[in-house]
Amino acid sequence: MLMMARHGEIAAPIKEVCERIYSNETSMILRRDLWEHHPAPQPKIALAVRPLRSQDFPLIIKERPRRLPILLAEIPSCYVALTETGELAFMLWVIFNTEWVRFRPHFKGQLHSPLQPDECLFEFAYTFEKFRAKGVMGAALVMIAEQTVKERPSVRWACNYIRQGNLASLKGCRNAGFRPYMKREEHWRAMYLRQSFVRLDPGARFPFEEAPGASTIASLPGARESSPLTG
């Protein structure tokens, strides 16, 4: 909390407490078949992906102090995307069923179903502020998906949870081949969470695909490539 306050993030925990007292939210659950090839969108900067290293911690904590608890949990399957000069541009955890118990305390809410051996969860996606609006998220997600299949060929499906109003993150996931799969309705009342899940029809669209002028909506100023649900 002190680190968050020092870095101007004190509003985040206050907002979190208020939401848990009373709020209604809808999250989209997106899914992608990792065995299907999806061309990586071309970002405005060159990127390379590698696993997270301990020397990355100071920069991550400096910009995103709320990540300290999960960094200390040492969950091994976190990837970062770097620029040609070695700067961190993006980060993401890939959670498999064997690591869910360790990740569970950091995840808000419940999964729609327990993770199976052929499934993984893409969570805590974050694009560093300096590299937003450069097409980083979609490109990095494709690269991480390819790396996941290379390292774990038996894992076929990837899911992630993003609040329905976070159009920038939804668009980034769409560019990486994710499609709407389910919705999660979240109702907080006095620190108690009630959830319900709705499976979407095949071919369901993203909110910005259903609205006129979708490309304009998806690029509104202030849109962020990080999920307010878990990012």
3-state secondary structure of 195: strand
Q: What is the mean pLDDT of residues 176-203?
A: 94
Q: What is the mean pLDDT of residues 210-221?
A: 45
CA–CA separation, 149 vs 26, rounded Å? 30
More confident residue, 216 or 7: 7
- pLDDT mean across residues, the chain: 88
Residue 51 has pLDDT above 70, yes or no: yes
What pLDDT is attached to residue 35?
A: 97
Residue 4 has pLDDT above 90, yes or no: no
DSSP state of 140: H
Q: What is the mean pLDDT of residues 39-45?
A: 92
CATH superfamily of 2-9+22-218: Gcn5-related N-acetyltransferase (GNAT) (3.40.630.30)
Contacts of 107-116 with C-beta under 8 Å, sequence gap 24+, read: 107/230, 108/229, 108/230, 109/27, 109/161, 109/184, 109/186, 109/193, 109/195, 109/229, 110/195, 112/29, 112/159, 112/182, 112/184, 112/197
What pLDDT is attached to residue 66?
A: 86
Determine if the pTM surpasses 0.75.
yes
70 CB-side CA count, 13 A: 28
CA–CA separation, 92 vs 176, rounded Å? 14
* 200-212 confidence digits (pLDDT tens): 999 999 988 865 5
Residue 231 has pLDDT above 90, yes or no: no
Answer yes or no: are the C-beta atoms of 127 and 37 closer than 8 Å: no
What pLDDT is attached to residue 20?
A: 87
* 87-120 confidence digits (pLDDT tens): 999 999 999 999 999 999 999 889 999 999 999 9
Domain boundaries, the chain: 2-9+22-218
Q: What residues contact residue 215 under an 8 Å CB cut-off, 6+ apart?
A: 208
